[in-house]
Amino acid sequence: MFDFSVITNWFNNLLLGCMPEWATVLVECIVIAVILLAAYSVLAMFYIFYERKLCAYFQCRLGPMRVGPWGLMQLFADVIKMLIKEIISLKGTDKFLFKLAPYIVVAASVTVFACLPWGYGLQLINYNIGIFFMLAVSSLGVIGILLAGWASNNKYSLVGAMRSGAQMVSYEISMGLALLAIVCLAGTMDINELVWAQENCWFIFKGQIPAIIAFVLYLIAATAETNRGPFDLPEAEHELTAGFHTEYSGISFGMFYLSEYLNLFIVSGIASLMFLGGWMPFHIAGWDGFNNVMNWIPSIVWFLGKTFFISYIIIWFKWTFPRVRIDQLLAFEWKYLMPIALVNLCLMAVCVALGWTF
């Protein structure tokens, strides 16, 4: 596999050869920030088009086709329209919190986005408690949503924000327990070590039945965590117009829109990392020839392919199942999902202690 750290080390040495260390660090931070924001924006645009086409496929239609070939330019038309829309200042709102809310949501999303391991040697942030850090930072997004609903001075926005807060806080428990089962299997929270531990067998196969159960639990909880159908109660159009971002327009609304789609990529990327090996190719222990062929595929292609596949499953959920009521949503978490996740965690601990894993 190609090691992307060769490129990053070359760039670092190049800068050190022509400027002092403090300037090198400053330039590298600026370059990384620009690349990160560019990737964030491009992926959000891709996911909008991706879901539109998948939705059309599920409903036996074509989707956007008029603007550009296969409707590809429709994305740019929507972005330009959103950027030139007027940002409306409403009477009676808490203006500071109203403007701050979308930045908190995007900041939390971008920080977790930066932690994802895109390829071999291609990772921006890594800690020995990497998964814990990602879960902790991602939970900060709910603060921005609650602020948006409260500062809008709109009863529909407030109801949507309260629904979102209850939903995200509840389903974070099941999502965390599902990931904790894999941490128990791996024996580490370090992101790089999690990937390398799946060199010969991905965790979804290595952990046997408890890992498969954890994968299903994670997909359900992640769908609810990102406020996507059939768990999109905070944005129920037929009840709350647009939920917590009803009063937002222009780029402020665009920031909520982008973060929603990037959160889909993030939860899919975490699932890829924890269950399907992240950027690690599909290897079978003892099959050296097959493994060498798999290594020819770039690691970044493996990561993106797995992530898009999991996103496909989550989008499939949205366009297949009807929306549930808020009481059904919370009852499903507290009465069924969380107890199953707890029992599955204990089952995984027993399997690891007795060596019943591949």
Taking only the tens place, the pLDDT of each residue in 142-158 is 898 889 888 888 888 88
Q: Residue 43 has which token pair?
A: 């992926």
Residue 251 confidence (pLDDT) above 70: yes
Residue-wise over 14-48: b if at least 16 C-beta within 10 A, else e?
ebeeeeeeeebeeeeeeeeeeeeeeebeebbbebb
In terms of average pLDDT, the best of 89-93, 192-196, 316-320 is 192-196
Tokens of 193: 């070590």
Give the integer Cα–Cα distance in Å for 283 and 297: 12
Instruction: Give residue-wise pLDDT tens across range 172-223.
Output: 999 999 999 999 999 999 999 999 999 888 999 988 899 999 999 999 999 9
Looking at every residue in the chain, the average pLDDT score rounds to 88
Q: Which of 84-93, 172-181, 280-289 is the most confident on average?
A: 172-181
Split at pLDDT 50, 70, 90, the class of 280 is very high
Give per-residue pLDDT as tens, 107-126.
999 999 989 999 888 888 88
| Residue entry with tokens 């291609």 | 122
Q: Is the peptide bond before 230 cis (omega within 30 degrees of 0)?
A: yes
User: In the prediction, which pLDDT does 242 show?
Assistant: 67
Amino acid 300: pLDDT: 92
Q: How confident is the model at residue 64 (pLDDT cuts 50, 70, 90)?
A: confident
Distances (CA, A) of 48 to 73, 167, 177, 293, 294: 12, 23, 30, 33, 30
Confidence of residue 235 (pLDDT cuts 50, 70, 90): low
Give the containing element (helix H, strand E) for 107: helix 95-115
Q: Output b/e per residue, 320-351; b: 16+ Cβ within 10 A.
A: eeebbebeebbebbeeebbebbeebbebbeeb
CA–centroid distance for 111 within its chain: 11
Q: pLDDT tens, 18-36?
A: 888 889 989 999 999 899 8
Q: What angle do CA 256, 80, 74 make, to 5 degrees?
A: 90
Residue with the larger pLDDT of the pair 175 and 323: 175
Query: Structure tokens of 242?
Result: 């647009």
Report the pLDDT value the prediction gives residue 321, as an integer from 0 to 100. 86
Residue 204 and residue 215 in contact, taking contact as beta carbons nearer than 8 Å = yes
Q: Which of 132, 97, 91 is nearest to 270 (CA)?
A: 132
- Paired with 122 in beta bridges are 119
Question: What is the structure's pLDDT at 239?
Answer: 56
Residue 346: per-residue pLDDT = 94
- Band of pLDDT at residue 237, cut at 50, 70 and 90: low
